[in-house]
């Protein structure tokens, strides 16, 4: 390995030996020398929003494939693991959800990673906090007595999958609070229905980065890659279990919200039929005397006939009766 050119983007470096940190925050130009000085150590190099020149500088050091470098530069790659000579390229999404009104929102950070024999190189394409990942590695240092990049990959995947599972559970809990309102008699208020639609949309968006994770983890665990040893295998299987549970939670939540929205629409339809039936009954009651008086041509003098005050009285009656009907229908929810 030659001396590593220093990328111009913000970086974070750490050197691990048997799971313990032996150096941190050093210049990327020192990577080659530090790896030579510590033959059993592995590197974590984090790059924030690098351009193609920054990645090419690192690619020259670690012999990264040009297609993998291209994928790391461009946003919105699908979750995947690609195999290249000498390294793997992985793309995952760290997700968070906000369930507050007026509707839930999902925030995601795309993370690309190059996995070589002695290095994990992460590429963050938007602003995010690395402290959670660092704490995860520090807390799990004891599970990697032999060190290795597999330990670093485990920490990254564990953090990603836990975040996705937490997001799925938060949306499922938000649905519990919405369920009773959606099933109210006469249909839910419009704000509740809109929240339910936003929940369904967010669940669909969350499923896209979550559903491929089980296959991605199985791909990383392939025996021919020699990335996951017997000691780490149970921990990777635990991640795989969480990934499948996250997908199951999302699928179950989607079925629930679809059922709730359908039930709400049915309740609105029933309420509308009831209102229509009542209005039709009132119309029939009024239509019969109207038809009879029209048939006989009844036009007899009324109270106040040919008097000015009689006209005013009839006008007041018309206005107040119309206003009374409006208030009644409004309170019944028919208007």
**Binning pLDDT at 50, 70 and 90, where does residue 317 land?**
confident
pLDDT at 23 over 90: yes
Query: What is the spatial distance between Cα 165 and Cα 93, in angstroms, rounded to a whole number?
Result: 12
pLDDT digits (tens, 9 = 90+) for 197-223: 899 999 999 999 999 999 999 999 997
Continuous H helices in the chain: 31-37, 52-62, 66-73, 131-139, 149-182, 190-210, 213-220, 233-296, 308-332
Non-local (6+) Cβ contacts of 9 within 8 A are 47, 48, 49, 50, 51, 54
CA distances from 54 to 4, 9, 73, 305 (A): 11, 7, 10, 95
Q: What pLDDT score does 1 carry?
A: 46
- Mean pLDDT within 67-71: 93
Record the tokens describing residue 28, joined without a space: 């990327």
Q: What pLDDT score does 114 carry?
A: 96
**In this predicted structure, which of 76-85, 256-265, 296-305 has the lowest mean pLDDT?**
296-305
CA distances from 165 to 96, 160, 224 (A): 10, 9, 29
Smallest CA-to-CA distance from 103 within 229, 6, 240, 197 is with 197
pLDDT-above-90 percentage for the chain: 47
- Mean pLDDT within 71-92: 93
pLDDT at 77 over 60: yes
pLDDT digits (tens, 9 = 90+) for 225-280: 889 988 899 999 999 999 999 999 999 999 999 888 888 788 778 777 887 888 88
Query: What is the spatial distance between Cα 107 and Cα 293, in angstroms, rounded to a whole number?
Result: 68
Non-local (6+) Cβ contacts of 148 within 8 A are 42, 227, 229, 232
Strands 42-48 and 119-124: parallel
**How confident is the prediction for the chain on average, in pLDDT?**
86
Q: What pLDDT score does 186 carry?
A: 61
Is pTM beyond 0.85 here? no
**Binning pLDDT at 50, 70 and 90, where does residue 333 land?**
low
Query: What is the spatial distance between Cα 91 and Cα 261, in angstroms, rounded to a whole number?
Result: 34
* Domain residue spans of the chain: 11-266, 300-335
Q: What pLDDT score does 162 carry?
A: 96
Cα 263 versus chain centre, distance: 24
Q: What pLDDT score does 99 carry?
A: 87
- Mean pLDDT within 269-293: 78
**Binning pLDDT at 50, 70 and 90, where does residue 113 land?**
very high
In DSSP notation, 144-196 reads -TT--HHHHHHHHHHHHHHHHHHHHHHHHHHHHHHHHHHTSTT---HHHHHHH
- Mean pLDDT within 63-70: 93
pLDDT at 71 over 80: yes
pLDDT digits (tens, 9 = 90+) for 34-58: 999 999 899 999 999 898 888 888 9
Say which CATH class 11-266 falls into: alpha beta
Pairwise pLDDT comparison (299 vs 173), residue with the higher score: 173
Pairwise pLDDT comparison (265 vs 302), residue with the higher score: 265
**Binning pLDDT at 50, 70 and 90, where does residue 4 land?**
low
């Amino acid at each position: 390995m030659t001396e590593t050119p220093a990328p111009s983007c913000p970086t974070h470096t750490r050197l691990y030996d048997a799971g313990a940190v032996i150096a941190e925050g050093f210049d990327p130009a020192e990577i080659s020398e530090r790896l030579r000085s510590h033959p059993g150590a592995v590197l974590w190099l984090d790059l924030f929003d690098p351009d193609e020149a920054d990645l090419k500088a690192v690619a020259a050091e670690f012999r990264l494939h040009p297609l993998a470098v291209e994928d790391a530069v461009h946003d919105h790659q699908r979750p995947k693991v690609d195999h290249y000579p000498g390294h793997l390229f992985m793309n995952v999404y760290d997700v968070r959800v906000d369930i507050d009104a007026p509707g839930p929102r999902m925030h995601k950070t795309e993370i690309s990673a190059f996995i070589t024999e002695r290095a994990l190189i992460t590429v963050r394409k938007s602003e995010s906090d690395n402290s959670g990942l660092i704490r995860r590695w520090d807390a799990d240092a004891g599970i990697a007595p032999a060190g290795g990049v597999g330990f670093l990959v485990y920490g990254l995947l564990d953090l990603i999958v836990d975040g996705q599972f937490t997001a799925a559970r938060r949306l499922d809990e938000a649905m519990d609070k919405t369920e009773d309102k959606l099933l109210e008699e006469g249909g839910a208020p419009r704000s509740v229905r809109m929240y339910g639609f936003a929940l369904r949309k967010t669940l669909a968006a969350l499923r896209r980065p979550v559903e491929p994770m089980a296959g991605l983890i199985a791909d990383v665990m392939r025996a021919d890659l020699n990335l996951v040893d017997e000691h780490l295998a149970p921990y990777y299987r635990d991640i795989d279990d969480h990934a499948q549970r996250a997908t199951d939670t999302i699928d179950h939540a989607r079925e629930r919200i679809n059922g709730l929205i359908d039930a709400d629409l049915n309740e609105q339809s029933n309420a509308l039929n009831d209102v229509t039936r009542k209005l039709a009954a009132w119309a029939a009651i009024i239509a019969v005397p109207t038809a009879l008086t029209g048939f006989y041509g009844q036009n007899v003098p009324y109270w106040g006939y040919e008097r000015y005050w009689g006209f005013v009285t009839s006008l007041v009656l018309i206005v107040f009766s119309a206003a009374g009907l409006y208030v009644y229908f409004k309170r019944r929810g028919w208007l």
